[in-house]
């Protein structure tokens, strides 16, 4: 697509929107301006390509398409079949999976599809068999009682939230923590690393139906071969949630023992984050679980979003290009350069560094909570998010950590030199921020004090750092 074509496409779209609700058009334009001016370091965010963005704004949005390719509950889905089949094909080829299900609307939807597919495959229940055979009207009250009891008492072992796991891996307030009798494994208190012997010990003691691996704030690789061996030793289904690092798998940065697809029974992911696609989810599995996974709609999902599946097809096609592998490697190189820059300036990092796309700073070394650090950085033009650290004394709301990641800035073209400069800006803000007090004069976990002149200076330096790396340079909305 030419530069002129991209500008024309987005300007025209905003002009049409402005004719109906100008405040929405203004908010869209303002969001682009904000993203262009901020150092985006949120590990779970990225910038989708113009082609991916444009693929979402079309007539596919008007279609209902429950079912799967060739087996829809609505007529007139032949074009939806085309884009869904293309997205699944690209996903299979990209990740080396035998089956791909691209309908999930989000990562949690993908995980729910996987959980229920595993339950349906593993739990012996006449009531479940009736439900799967669509004989729902034949289920008695006793059948429903048995179904709830059998499916609700299964066990899952996943990574704890404060160790870097995700809330959908059994965090009690999440539906995953209510569906399962759940237990968590953590990390070694001294190193912050997964202790596989302890995971194996927990699995032998707990005997879970599902062993979940994957993370949202663990800055190291996971050995999926060892995790599969642990799962096999207790007869568990091994599930990997690779939402955060899917781009590193797609780009062949994570291979062998660190590629989950050859080792897991089932793999879930989002399609944004390091994969640089639209917001959505996806499930990969072998043939033994394919039929259950394809029942995601209506088992868990409502109607698929055909316009998002179209965008997934575009993004996955982009990820199959040779330059994506270079991009994925630069993500890791940048994260390690950022970590090195922070360490040299005295910051404390969980696990002492990173092997992937993210860095977790323990800001208690600066005398701050994660919430104070997050807001002080935001005041200075640096967008991050607070995050728990292992054994976090401040809990999941205030936290003691800041999670930063490099996928977005790598998309813009920043490299190691800019990562070191970014580390300097982060250190400047955190070292110049002090805890504030509440109305009663007591220390506050939320209030903070930062000289506005420091915030303004850092914000200007951040903007200057980004100037040579324009975001969507082909898009001019003026």
Residues serving a catalytic function are 64, 66, 241, 270, 273, 279
To which H or E segment does residue 164 belong?
A: none
Bridge-based pairing of strands 99-101 and 71-72 is unpaired
Furthest C-alpha separation in the chain: 71
| Partner residues linked to 266 by β-bridges | 239, 285
Start-to-end CA distance of the chain, whole Å, equals 19
8 Å CB contact between 233 and 204: yes
CB environment 450-462: b (16+ within 10 A), e (fewer):
beeebbebbbebb
Give 392's Cβ-side CA count (13 Å radius).
27
CA dihedral over 151, 154, 158, 160, signed as positive or negative? positive
Tokens 């640089």 map to which residue?
A: 276
Neighbouring CB atoms inside 10 A of 29's CB total 17
Closest by CA to 54, choosing from 307, 244, 423, 254, is: 307
- The 3-class secondary structure across 16-58, one letter per residue, is HHHCCCHHHHHHHHHHHHHHHHCEECCCCCCCCCHHHHHHHCC
8 Å CB contact between 228 and 253: no
8 Å CB contact between 294 and 288: no
Report the distance separating Cα 188 and Cα 198, nearest Å. 9
Report the distance separating Cα 224 and Cα 63, nearest Å. 39
Residue 402 three-state SS:
strand
Report the distance separating Cα 312 and Cα 367, nearest Å. 43
Which residues neighbour 168 within 8 Å (Cβ) at sequence distance 6 or greater? 107, 108, 111, 174, 175, 176, 241
Q: What dihedral angle (degrees, nearest 10) is formed by the CA atoms of 110, 336, 276, 402?
A: 60
Report the distance separating Cα 15 and Cα 11, nearest Å. 6
């Amino acid at each position: 697509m030419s530069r002129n074509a991209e500008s024309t496409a987005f300007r025209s779209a905003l002009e049409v929107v402005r004719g109906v609700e100008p405040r929405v058009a203004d908010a869209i334009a303002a969001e682009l301006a904000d993203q262009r001016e901020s150092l985006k370091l949120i590990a779970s965010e990225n910038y989708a390509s113009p082609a991916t963005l444009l693929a979402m704004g079309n007539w596919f949005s008007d279609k209902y398409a429950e079912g799967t390719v060739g087996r829809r509950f609505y007529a007139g889905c032949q074009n939806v079949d085309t884009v869904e089949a293309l997205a699944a094909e690209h996903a299979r080829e990209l990740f080396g999976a035998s089956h791909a299900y691209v309908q999930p609307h989000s990562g949690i939807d993908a995980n729910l599809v996987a959980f229920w597919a595993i339950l349906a495959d593993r739990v012996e229940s006449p009531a479940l068999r009736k439900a799967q055979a669509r004989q729902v009207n034949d289920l008695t009250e006793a059948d429903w009682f048995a179904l709830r009891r059998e499916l609700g008492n299964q066990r899952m072992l996943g990574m704890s939230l404060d160790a870097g796991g995700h809330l959908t891996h059994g965090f009690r307030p999440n539906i995953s923590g209510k569906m399962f009798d759940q237990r968590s494994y953590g990390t070694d208190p001294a190193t912050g690393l997964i202790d596989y012997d302890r995971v194996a010990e927990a699995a032998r003691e707990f005997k879970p139906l599902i062993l979940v691996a994957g993370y949202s704030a663990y800055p190291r690789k996971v050995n999926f071969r060892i995790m599969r061996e642990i799962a096999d030793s207790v007869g568990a289904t091994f599930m990997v949630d690779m939402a955060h690092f899917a781009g590193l798998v797609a780009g062949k940065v994570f291979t062998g023992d660190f590629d989950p697809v050859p080792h897991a029974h089932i793999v879930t992911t989002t399609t944004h984050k390091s994969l640089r696609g639209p917001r959505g989810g996806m499930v990969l599995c072998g043939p033994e679980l394919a039929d259950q996974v394809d029942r995601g709609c209506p088992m868990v999902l409502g109607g698929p979003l055909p316009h998002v599946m179209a965008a997934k097809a575009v993004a996955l096609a982009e990820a199959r290009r040779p330059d994506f592998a270079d991009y994925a490697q630069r993500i890791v190189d940048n994260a390690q350069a950022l970590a090195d820059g922070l360490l040299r300036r005295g910051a404390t990092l969980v696990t002492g560094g990173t092997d992937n796309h993210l860095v977790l700073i323990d800001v208690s070394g600066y005398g701050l909570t994660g919430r104070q650090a997050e807001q002080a950085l935001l005041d200075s033009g640096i967008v991050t998010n607070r995050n728990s650290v292992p054994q976090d004394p401040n809990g999941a709301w205030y936290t003691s950590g800041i999670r930063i990641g490099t996928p977005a800035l790598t998309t813009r073209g920043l490299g190691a030199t800019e990562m070191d400069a970014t580390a300097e800006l982060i250190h400047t803000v955190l070292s110049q921020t002090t805890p504030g007090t509440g109305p009663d004069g007591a220390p506050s976990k939320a209030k903070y004090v930062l000289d506005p002149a420091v915030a303004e200076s850092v914000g200007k330096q951040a903007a200057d750092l980004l100037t040579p790396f324009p975001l969507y340079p082909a898009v001019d909305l003026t």
